[in-house]
Amino acid sequence: MKNADNIYIGKTTPQVVVKLFREQFEKDFELFLTLRCKELVSGGRMVLTFAGRKRGEMPMHGGVARVWELLSEALQHLVQKVHYYYTSTLLNSTE
């Protein structure tokens, strides 16, 4: 799948994956609001700030997209290092 290495919706993300991300976000956000509602005291307030974009607009170059790309690369590198560490640790422990 074209989105296998992404942790975000990128320019190569198939529409079916975009739909799945959106559906999961809706479920997660509803749960978030339900739980926060239980925490509010009577007369309390909650402020939410969103960075959004219009449907169809994908940040493909620079700005936010580059931040997500760097984060994705860093996480992939970390996973590789952890995998290598545990693989070599397991191999060395059986000797």
Cβ-based neighbour number of residue 17 at 10 Å: 17
Distance (Å) of CA 14 to CA 42, 54, 68, 81? 44, 18, 17, 29
The model's pLDDT over 58-93, given as tens digits with 9 standing for 90+, comes to 555 456 667 777 888 888 899 889 988 888 877 777
Of residues 88 and 4, more confidence is placed in 88
* pLDDT interval class at 57 (50, 70, 90): low
Domain ranges within the chain, ordered by starting residue: 15-93
